[in-house]
């Protein structure tokens, strides 16, 4: 069996790996590290949680062990799609470079430009950045990329999914043609094939698992959910989420709950907290300090439930996540693989449950096609939820149905017959005769309404019928008119 000591790593890097307690590399590490140390471009494809970060961190540190960085000219560049992943990569470099005199800088949003400029001005061996913040520094004239010897794109498919294609291509063009490029991704989309064909030179392709497969250590399940009424859908869905959590009991030590939209992240987190669950949200609209504080609490175990958007689906390394709940079915099948990959890491077992609405069944079918197996259906812990009726015109239980109006028409254009209740005139029992006018002749009620104007043709509707007040005038209202007339 291959060990790290067999991979020709720098002795100081190898010592740091041993200090961290690692002896045997994962398959992606065993395949990528020798090729990277040989100076070749690498295209690494592996499911999430297989140690891709160390696959480029260890050879980079070994190659950069000799040499010195110049001001504003980093020697290596690591691009990450999110701030959290960039910070995690920086932690890996700190762990494995503790016996080396190498410097690093982290360029992410939500942090002062001034502090980052100071680090760059001193010269850094390793620059870890998100694409947007990197280009911000470059456009301000604070950064030169002509000295980059090694360039890494981590979670490449996620970078492309998030719309970073133009930025990635621009950054590639700003770096030397002679650079060494390491591409790591969980899936291989056609866009990635195009990028690799353009910017990588005869890369060593290491693929250690079938594309977009879920770890075999993860138990999967999906609950088919149909709300009783449309306006109650979200309320019932949140109640179902709580029921699923309660059903796992003590087995659910901590969990990540994924939502498709940021607004739902906030709503679900607030709802869980209101019902006594220890939950907090994390998504791209939150301040970096708040995101960092929330993640640190989740890693430390002081926060039990992390409610997240897909910003946390890639590269979030919390080794002991027992459960992942998909509150929404992801719109992209690949995102499902990355979401559930937050559990069952490093050989541990994990469990994931997903809630599927009828409108999400197409997305569910796409996920099952991608992972090439059906996701087991789980019984709804709240029992079947059946709509009260599919008839849009039916009234709620216990309430009389509203009669059709006499002037409505059917699809053929013919008038609908009036209901029996509408045909019977509603008149007062004690005041059935209309009052007399000044000439002694009876006039219909309502004739003097609006300043004495006539009812304009409404007087022929029937003697006792109260004209102008509708077909269903209660008798007590008619009595009040009669009493005022008599007075």
The whole-number pLDDT of residue 421 equals 44
d(CA 319, CA 233): 34
pLDDT at 433 over 50: no
Domain residue extents for the chain:
4-207, 218-371, 420-486
Q: Which residues touch 291 (CB under 8 Å, ≥6 apart)?
A: 83, 84, 110, 282
With both helix axes pointing from N to C terminus, report the angle between 165-174 and 190-199 in degrees, rounded to the nearest 10.
Answer: 10
- 182 or 390: whose pLDDT is higher? 182
pLDDT tier, 160 (very low <50, low <70, confident <90, very high otherwise): confident
Q: What are the structure tokens assigned to 120, written together?
A: 């760059």
pLDDT tier, 387 (very low <50, low <70, confident <90, very high otherwise): very low
d(CA 462, CA 446): 13
Q: What is the CATH number of domain 218-371?
A: 3.40.50.300
The whole-number pLDDT of residue 242 equals 96
Q: What are the structure tokens assigned to 38, written together?
A: 């040989």
Q: What are the structure tokens assigned to 338, written together?
A: 């990355």
pLDDT, average across residues 212-218: 75
Q: Which residues touch 232 (CB under 8 Å, ≥6 apart)?
A: none
Chain centroid to CA 89: 23
pLDDT tier, 52 (very low <50, low <70, confident <90, very high otherwise): confident
d(CA 52, CA 69): 26
Residue 440's CB is within 10 A of a number of other CB atoms, namely: 6
d(CA 209, CA 187): 10
CATH class of 4-207: alpha beta
User: Of 249, 254, 363, whose CA–CA distance to 308 is shortest?
Assistant: 254
Q: Which of 228-232, 267-271, 417-421 has the highest mean pLDDT?
A: 267-271
Residues above pLDDT 90, as percent of the chain: 49
Q: Which residues touch 385 (CB under 8 Å, ≥6 apart)?
A: 225, 226, 227, 228, 236
* Three-state DSSP class for residue 295: helix
Q: Which residues touch 3 (CB under 8 Å, ≥6 apart)?
A: 23, 24, 25
- 53 or 453: whose pLDDT is higher? 53
pLDDT at 278 over 50: yes
List, in sequence order, every beta strand (DSSP E) within 409-486: none
Q: Are 144 and 70 in contact (CB under 8 A)?
A: no
Phi, psi (rounded to 5 degrees) for 476: -70, -25
Distance in angstroms between the alpha carbons of the first and the last residue of the chain: 108
Taking only Cα atoms into account, the Rg of the chain, rounded to an integer number of angstroms, comes to: 35
pLDDT at 9 over 90: yes
Cα angle value 415/417/422 (rounded, 5°): 120
pLDDT tier, 426 (very low <50, low <70, confident <90, very high otherwise): very low
Going from the C-alpha of 240 to that of each of 53, 129, 156, 380, 437, the distances in angstroms are 36, 39, 35, 8, 68
Q: Are 158 and 314 in contact (CB under 8 A)?
A: yes
Q: What are the structure tokens assigned to 400, written together?
A: 């009389």
d(CA 218, CA 227): 28
Q: Are 152 and 60 in contact (CB under 8 A)?
A: yes
In terms of phi and psi (left: phi > 0; alpha: psi -120 to 50; beta: otherwise), the region of 39 is left
Q: Same topology for domains 4-207 and 218-371, yes or no?
A: yes
The whole-number pLDDT of residue 479 equals 62
- 70 or 186: whose pLDDT is higher? 70
The whole-number pLDDT of residue 364 equals 96
Chain centroid to CA 443: 69
d(CA 188, CA 403): 60
């Amino acid at each position: 069996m291959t060990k790290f000591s067999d991979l020709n790593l720098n002795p100081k890097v190898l010592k740091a790996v041993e200090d961290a307690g690692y002896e045997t590399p994962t398959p992606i590490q065993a395949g990528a590290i020798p090729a990277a140390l040989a100076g070749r471009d690498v295209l690494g494809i592996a499911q999430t949680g297989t140690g891709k970060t160390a696959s480029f961190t260890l050879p980079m540190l070994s190659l950069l062990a000799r040499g010195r960085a110049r001001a504003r000219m980093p020697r290596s560049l690591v691009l990450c799609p999110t701030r959290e992943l960039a910070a995690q990569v920086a932690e890996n470099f700190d762990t494995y470079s503790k016996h080396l005199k190498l410097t690093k800088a982290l360029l992410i949003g939500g942090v002062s430009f001034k502090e980052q400029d100071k680090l760059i001005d001193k010269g850094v061996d390793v620059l870890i950045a998100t694409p947007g913040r990197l280009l911000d520094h470059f456009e301000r004239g604070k950064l030169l990329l002509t000295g980059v010897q090694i360039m890494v794109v981590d979670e490449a498919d996620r970078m492309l999914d998030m719309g970073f294609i133009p930025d990635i291509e621009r950054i590639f063009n700003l770096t030397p043609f002679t650079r060494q490029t390491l591409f790591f991704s969980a899936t291989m989309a056609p866009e990635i094939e195009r990028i690799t064909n353009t910017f990588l030179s005869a890369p060593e392709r290491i693929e250690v698992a079938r594309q977009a497969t879920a770890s075999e250590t993860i138990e999967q399940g999906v609950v088919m959910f149909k709300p009783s009424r449309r306006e109650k859908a979200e309320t019932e869905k949140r109640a179902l989420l709580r029921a699923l959590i309660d059903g796992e009991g003590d087995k659910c030590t901590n969990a990540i709950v994924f939502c498709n939209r940021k607004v739902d992240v906030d709503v679900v987190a607030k709802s869980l907290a209101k019902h006594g669950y220890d939950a907090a949200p994390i998504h791209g609209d939150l301040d970096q300090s708040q995101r960092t504080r929330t993640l640190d609490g989740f890693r430390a175990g002081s926060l039990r439930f992390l409610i997240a958007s897909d910003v946390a689906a890639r590269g979030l390394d919390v080794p002991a996540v027992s459960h992942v709940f998909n509150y929404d079915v992801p719109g992209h099948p690949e995102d499902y693989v990355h979401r559930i990959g937050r559990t069952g890491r490093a050989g541990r077992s994990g469990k994931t449950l997903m809630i599927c609405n009828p409108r999400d069944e197409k997305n569910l079918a796409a996920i099952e096609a991608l992972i090439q197996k059906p996701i087991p259906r789980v019984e709804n812990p709240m029992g079947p939820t059946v709509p009260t009726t599919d008839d849009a015109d039916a009234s709620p239980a216990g309430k009389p149905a509203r009669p059709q109006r006499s002037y409505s028409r059917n699809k053929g254009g013919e008038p609908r017959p009036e209901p029996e209740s509408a045909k019977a005139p509603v008149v007062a029992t004690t005041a059935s005769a209309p009052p007399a006018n000044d000439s002694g002749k009876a006039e219909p009620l309502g004739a003097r309404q609006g300043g004495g104007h006539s009812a304009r043709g409404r007087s022929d509707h029937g003697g006792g019928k109260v004209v102008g007040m509708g077909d269903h005038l209660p008798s007590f209202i008619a009595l009040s008119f009669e009493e005022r007339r008599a007075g």
